[in-house]
Structure 1
Amino acid sequence: MTPTPDAGTYALPAGVPSVRVTGRFVAADGTPLTGTVTFAPPMVLTLPDADTIALTPAVVEITKEDQGCFAVTLIATDAPGMSPSGWTYRVTEKLKGAQIRQYHIMLAERPGGTSVDLADLAPASPYSGRYIPVVGPTGATGAQGQAGEVQRVELEALEERVAPRAVTWSQGSASTLWTIDHDFPYAPAVRTFDTSGREIGGLVANPSPTTVTVQFAFAETGSAILS
C-alpha cells in the first residue's frame, strides 16, 4: 500500500495509548474509491490518566488524491483506567458507488506501535449461499382429477400475482435516499444503476409493504429495477 499521512493535523495527547489504522478501498476493477470512514467511540470517553475526555467520532475523508488509501491514529480500546472499559468503535463506511457498511471493531494497543490494516479487522458482508435442491424418491401416482375450465384472463391474473414482471423506476433528481412505491405482493429484489448504466450499491429497506427505500452514501441519479 502507498504510504499515506495520518488523517487530521493533531496528535493525540501524551500518555494516551493509540493505534494507527490504515486501509485502502477500491472497486472490483481496481478503481480507487472516495468517501468517508467514521470511527465512533462511546458518546463520552474519559481517560483520567491523561487528563483527557474524547467526545466525538473521528471522520477520515478519502479523496481522489489518496488513491483509495487512508491512515488515522486512534485511541486504543484497551487504554488502562479509561471509562467506559471494554468498548468498541462503530465503523461506518460511506464510499461513492458502494453500499453503506457499519460494523464494530476493537483496537488493542499494538507492541512497538505497529499499525493495523482495516481489512484485517472488518467483517465480510454476509452471504447466505445458494440452496441446492435435494430430490427425494418418487411417490405413488394419485388419482386423476376432473378437468376444469379456466379462462385465459384468470391465468394471466394468477401469473401476475405469482410472478410479477420486473419494473423499472427512474430517479431524476440527485438524492441520497430513493423512495420507490410498488404493487408487488412481496418485498421485491432491487438493483440500482447510475445514469451511465453502472450498477451501484445502496442500502435497501422496506418501510411498508408497498414501499422500498434505497440509501446511498452520496446523492445519486439513475434507475432501479424491481423484480
Structure 2
Amino acid sequence: MTIPTPDLPPYEMPDGVASVRLTGRFIAPDGRPLTGRVTFAPPSVLTMPGADTIANTAATVEITAADRGRFALTLIATDSEGMSPRGWSYLVTERLAGAEMRQYHIMLPAMPDSGPDASVDLADLAPVSPYTGRYLPVVGPRGATGATGAPGEVSRAELVALEERVAPRPVTWTQSMGSREWLIPHAYPYPPAVRTYDTSGREIGGLVEYPSPASVTVHFASAETGSAILS
C-alpha cells in the first residue's frame, strides 16, 4: 500500500523540529562584498525520532554579487527535542573568493521567547569546540578595567602548545589506496568532526566511528580513495 505524501512548501521544517534563523554578511576590509559558499554541517547522521525525521547532509548557501555579501537561512536548532546525538555543533566551512578557507564550530540553540521574525547573526557567535560548547553572544557593555597583574614567564613553545589544545587546527588525511574502511589517527583532545572527499574533491558520505580516543574510522559501502578533513 502506498502512503500519500503531503505537499510541503520548500524548506519548511517538519513539525516538532525547532529551528533558528541565521543571518550573516561578508565584506573585504575596504567594504567590498564577498562572494562564495558557506556550509553548515551537522553530524553525519542526525535523527529526530519524535518528528520522524533524519538529517544526513550539510546546508549550503551560495553568496552571489547580487547578495552584496549577505545570506540568510533557517537551520535545525542544536538543542531540538529528542535528537541523537545530543550536544552536537555545526561545522562551518567558509569558502569565499579571495580569502583562505576557514572552519570552526558553532551552537544554535532554539530561541523560544523570541518572535517569529527573530534571527541570530553569525558575527555574534563565538566558535566552540565540537560537541562540548555553547554559543556565546559577543555583545554587551564593556566592563571596568581591572588591575594590572604581575608579569609572567611563558615561552613561545608553551603558547603554541596552549593554542593547539584550545583551538586545534584542521588536519587533512590522505587515503591513497582504495579501501572500504579508513583508519585515521589523530591527536585532538576530543572526538573530531570528519568530512570525507574523493580524489576529484567531491564530498562523500561514510559512517564515522571513534574506536579509541586517538583514532577515527570511516566506513564506506565500496572501496574509496581521497582525503578526510578532521577539525
TM-score of the aligned structures, taking structure 1 as reference length: 0.50
Deviation at 1:11, TM superposition (A): 1.5
Distance in 1, Cα, partners of 2:92 & 2:10 = 21
- Aligned-partner SS, 2:21: strand
Deviation at 1:9, TM superposition (A): 4.0
Change beyond 3 A, Cα 1:100–1:21: same
Q: What residue in structure 2 maps to residue 34 of structure 1?
A: 35
Matching of residue 79 in structure 1 with residue 83 in structure 2: no
Q: What residue in structure 2 maps to residue 90 of structure 1?
A: 91
Deviation at 1:122, TM superposition (A): 4.5
Q: What residue in structure 1 maps to residue 125 of structure 2?
A: 121
- Aligned-partner SS, 1:86: coil
RMSD, aligned α-carbons: 2.9
- Aligned-partner SS, 1:49: helix
Equivalent runs, 1:136-155 vs 2, <5 Å: none
Matching of residue 11 in structure 1 with residue 12 in structure 2: yes
The C-alpha deviation readout for 1:46-102, integer Å capped at 9, x for no partner, is: 001111000100011100110000001000000111100000000000000011110
Q: What residue in structure 2 maps to residue 101 of structure 1?
A: 102
Q: What residue in structure 1 maps to residue 21 of structure 2?
A: 20
Kept in 2: contact 1:19–1:110 (CA 8 A): yes
Distance in 2, Cα, partners of 1:9 & 1:27 = 32
Kept in 1: contact 2:17–2:81 (CA 8 A): no
Tell me how many residue pairs correspond in the alignment.
123
Q: What residue in structure 2 maps to residue 59 of structure 1?
A: 60
- Aligned-partner SS, 2:88: coil
Structure 1: 5+ residue stretches without partners:
1-7, 124-202, 206-227
The C-alpha deviation readout for 1:173-222, integer Å capped at 9, x for no partner, is: xxxxxxxxxxxxxxxxxxxxxxxxxxxxxx9x9xxxxxxxxxxxxxxxxx
Higher Cα Rg, which structure: 1
Change beyond 3 A, Cα 1:77–1:103: same
The C-alpha deviation readout for 1:106-148, integer Å capped at 9, x for no partner, is: 000013242100001154xxxxxxxxxxxxxxxxxxxxxxxxx
Equivalent runs, 1:136-175 vs 2, <5 Å: none
Distance in 1, Cα, partners of 2:23 & 2:82 = 26
Distance in 1, Cα, partners of 2:100 & 2:10 = 29
Q: What residue in structure 1 maps to residue 44 of structure 2?
A: 43
Q: In structure 2, what residue type is equivalent to 1:107?
A: L
Kept in 2: contact 1:94–1:101 (CA 8 A): yes
Kept in 2: contact 1:89–1:106 (CA 8 A): yes
Distance in 1, Cα, partners of 2:111 & 2:102 = 26
Deviation at 1:12, TM superposition (A): 1.5
Distance in 2, Cα, partners of 1:122 & 1:82 = 23
Kept in 2: contact 1:35–1:62 (CA 8 A): yes
Report sequence identity in percent. Answer: 67
Distance in 2, Cα, partners of 1:68 & 1:22 = 11
**Higher normalized contact order (CA 8 Å, seq sep 6+, divided by chain length):** 1
Structure 2: 5+ residue stretches without partners:
1-8, 128-168, 172-231
Q: What residue in structure 1 maps to residue 130 of structure 2?
A: none
